């Protein structure tokens, strides 16, 4: 069960707001009565042991996991059903823990361009946006590589590029440095630190937490 709240005294309206958020699975509470406020520029890190519900929390905030109780407000909009969440999955970018859950384009470049195309950009503009994102995460040389031929770390970077190509206002990142070697992890940490984006991050990476976290929320393992 989750203990306490993650809130802020900043005066502006939160970009992400949750009140009384509760999720259970198979009769067990994953987290309950959770309150969250995340304001522009903040980087909230969600910490806790495996099985504490970190991934579930991130997914519930964007409507990928149904909540049992509570209220979610994103970018000033109340979100209760799929039709409320769907339009916000560009302005709020989600990096899933398993890269296979979001890589489906034939090549790395085509995959990264999919989101911008969905946003209404013409093919040339979408491709330019995708190339910029690939260069940003350090895999511009992999643009024409088939997605299925990527290593685990390369998949992680390609998935992140696809999120960044949509130029989100907020990032929800589930273990962003997982499967990365030390050099790539350090590079991505630098990219995220310099982005200025608002973030909620689930991570066990002590170096990432130390460099990026402005606030922390600890979740307990379900009982």
How far is it, in rounded angstroms, from Cα 185 to Cα 52?
24
**202: Cβ contacts below 8 Å, ≥ 6 apart:** 45, 46, 47, 54, 55, 57, 58, 97, 173, 174, 175
In a domain, 43, yes or no: yes
Tell me the residue range of the domain where 58 lies. Answer: 14-89+204-222
Return the CATH number at 70: 3.40.50.300
In a domain, 124, yes or no: no
Domain count within the chain: 1
In a domain, 115, yes or no: no
In a domain, 126, yes or no: no
Taking only the tens place, the pLDDT of each residue in 41-54 is: 999 999 998 888 99
How far is it, in rounded angstroms, from Cα 139 to Cα 136?
8
Task: Find the DSSP H helices in the chain.
Answer: 54-61, 82-85, 108-118, 123-137, 152-164, 182-195, 206-212
Taking only the tens place, the pLDDT of each residue in 112-147 is: 999 999 999 999 999 999 999 999 999 999 999 999
Residue 218 has pLDDT above 80, yes or no: yes
DSSP 173-191: EESTTTT--HHHHHHHHHH
Question: What per-residue confidence (pLDDT) applies to 187?
Answer: 93
Which has the closest alpha carbon to 89: 54, 107, 68, 114?
Answer: 114
Taking only the tens place, the pLDDT of each residue in 142-167 is: 999 999 999 999 999 999 999 999 99
In a domain, 209, yes or no: yes
In a domain, 53, yes or no: yes
Question: What per-residue confidence (pLDDT) applies to 116?
Answer: 97
Residue 9 has pLDDT above 70, yes or no: no
In a domain, 59, yes or no: yes
Residue 176 has pLDDT above 50, yes or no: yes
């Amino acid at each position: 069960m989750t203990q306490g709240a993650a809130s802020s005294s900043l005066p502006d309206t939160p970009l992400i707001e949750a009140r009384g958020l509760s999720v259970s699975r198979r009769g067990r509470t994953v987290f309950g009565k959770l309150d969250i406020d995340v304001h522009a520029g903040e980087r909230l890190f969600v910490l806790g042991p495996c099985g504490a519900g970190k991934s579930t929390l991130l997914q519930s905030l964007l409507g990928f996991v149904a909540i049992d109780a509570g209220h979610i407000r994103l970018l000033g909009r109340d979100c209760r059903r799929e039709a409320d969440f769907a339009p916000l999955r560009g302005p709020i970018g989600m990096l899933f823990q398993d890269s296979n859950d979001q890589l489906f384009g034939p090549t790395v470049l085509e995959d990264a361009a999919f989101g911008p195309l969905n946003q209404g950009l013409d093919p040339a503009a979408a491709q330019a946006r995708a190339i910029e994102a690939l260069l940003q995460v350090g895999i511009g040389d992999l643009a024409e590589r088939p997605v299925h031929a990527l290593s685990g770390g390369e998949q992680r970077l390609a998935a992140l590029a696809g999120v960044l190509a949509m130029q989100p206002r907020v990032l929800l990142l589930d273990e962003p440095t997982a499967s990365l070697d030390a050099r790539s992890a350090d590079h991505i940490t630098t990219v995220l630190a310099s982005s200025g984006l608002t973030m909620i991050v689930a991570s066990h990476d002590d170096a990432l937490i130390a460099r990026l976290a402005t606030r922390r929320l600890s979740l307990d393992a379900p009982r």
